[in-house]
Structure 1
Amino acid sequence: MQTYEPCAPRVLGDQSWQEHAVCRPTAHHHIDLDLFFPEPDEMDRIREAKSLCAQCPVRRTCLDAALENGDRDGIRGGMTEEEREPLHSKLEHRLDYGRVNATLAGRDVHLTKSERRAVVRAAYQAGIAAERLAWLLKITEEHADKLYRRTRREIRNHSVEQAQLGNRAGGVDEGPWAAASAQTYRNDLGAAA
């Protein structure tokens, strides 16, 4: 079996991963694609389809494509429609640093809101020009400048909050506000940048 890197974010519009899918019918390997569209009570068909998905080297890519394209029908990436439903509603909050890094490297991948914010912050911290950020995110240079200004403000405000928390470390309790603002913030983006 040919291997395919399932964790690498696919480029927008790229469907070549389907060539590596276990469910792809060939002259020597007949697959009934209706198997992946069972009725909710057809448990044997669901188990059989999921069994094929479990062997698939592009299962994660298939699931990502289904979520990103809004495919709500059938079994995709080893999950039924009902199992994928919560993922559809949470997709915009996904934060995959592999996607962030792929974008920073110039790949045109699908990004969620959280991932776009992470790209902006990592690009700002790396000193990437607004012109390059605009190209990476397919936005205007003016919009990239605006995103950098917002990021600069967020970093500045975070520094001020951290300084205030440091001043409170002497034992002064300022009530519930102090406890709420004392949450730990992540300064870096891990592997990003």
Structure 2
Amino acid sequence: MRDVRRHILEVAERLFYAEGYRAVGVDRLIAEADVAKATFYRHFPTKDDLLVAVLDARDARFREWLAVRVEALAGDPRDRPLAVFDALAELFAADDFRGCAFLNTMVEVASRSHPAHEAAQRHKQRLIDYFERLLREAGVPLASALAPQILLLIDGAIVTAVREGGPGAAARARSLAENLIATARPGRRRR
């Protein structure tokens, strides 16, 4: 027997990412998931509850994927902070890339107090924490100050990749990150 909750989450994630949260109604979600209305509401009392669950599941999967790809792309911990951008280039090149599901959600729900906005913010904070760890493991000083800057570069690269329709923004953001990291390393003169 299939896991109904997980199936509903998968359908919702696909539709929300492709078409947007507000564009997809509950009746469509129920029809696409091929579940009874009562079953849907037993698992997700509101559409907002479903969106938060989708974001939490996507967060866990994305962070796991990113960690695996970064390690595969860079065996040496010193190279891993920049390998993040190489992994992102792979995502940006995908035909179905529509940007960051978390940024898209923040734009759609707008209110910072909305539970989905808070879930998206948690995801971004977890990424900052991950980048900080990568920077520390790479021996980069000021890791806690640089990690949010890395996220800023990534978020900008994501939006640019959507605008341009390709992976080139990841390489440009990587170059900027390389400069930030080089400036933070000991022995580098600041101008």
Q: TM-score w.r.t. structure 1 length?
A: 0.28
In our comparison, the structure showing a higher alpha carbon Rg is 1
The structure richer in helix per residue is 2
Q: TM-score, normalised by structure 2?
A: 0.28
